[in-house]
Amino acid sequence: MKRTVLSISLLAGLGTAPLAAAGKPAPTVSVTNAWARETAPSQVNGGGFATIANTGTVDDRLVSAASPVASEVQLHTMSMDGGVMRMRQLTDGIAVPAGQTVMLKPGSLHVMFIGLKHPLKRGENVPVTLRFARAGTVKVNFAVQPVGAMGPGGRHGGH
């Protein structure tokens, strides 16, 4: 699976290289407070959350994510509609406008680990590669928290 991440990083790197060569300002995207919820052995999916800040002057977009712990990592939104929970994949990614901070948090946007290769254990760090349209790839560790957590928890949450 490391190969997958590497290849995705490589592709992303190639994608961003022409932008840099074209002399556009390098967008600044930072990902902090990344965390995921622990999962039961039988659970094949899990959710992850993070704070994404675009401190640059150019709009960016989180277009995809990948992790060696899952066969796929999707970007999802969750909404409540008349008491009904609706979760949807965001195939167009998540916009991260210039100068703004986007929160992936419970009850809202999240990354979804699909096809977990092993359960997410609390205390574990899950490596995730986030790919942005302009900023390229950002590697971040998602700290696994107890299932009841509503935030990154302890001091190991941020990266």
Contacting another protein (CB under 8 A), which of 61, 110, 131, 134? Answer: 110
Inter-CA distances, 155 with 36, 55, 118, 120, Å: 14, 23, 25, 19
Residue 89 CA to residue 123 CA, distance in Å, equals: 27
* Start-end of H helices in the chain: 2-21
Residues in region 44-103 near another protein by CB under 8 A: 44-47, 72, 76, 78, 80, 83-89, 91
Q: Does 21 bind another protein (CB under 8 A)?
A: no
Long-range contacts of range 17-20, CB-CB < 8 Å, 24 or more positions apart?
19/134
Minimum CB distance to another protein, residue 134 (Å): 24
Residue 115: CB atoms within 10 A of its CB come to 11
In this complex, which beta carbon is closest to another protein, that of residue 146 or of residue 154? 146
Contacting another protein (CB under 8 A), which of 100, 123, 150, 154? Answer: 150
Residue 93 burial (C-beta neighbours within 10 Å; 0-12, 13-18, 19+): middle
Minimum CB distance to another protein, residue 150 (Å): 7
Which segment (50-58, 94-102, 130-138, 141-149) binds another protein by CB under 8 A?
141-149
Binding site for another protein (CB under 8 A): 37-47, 72, 76, 78, 80, 83-89, 91, 106-107, 110, 112-114, 146-150
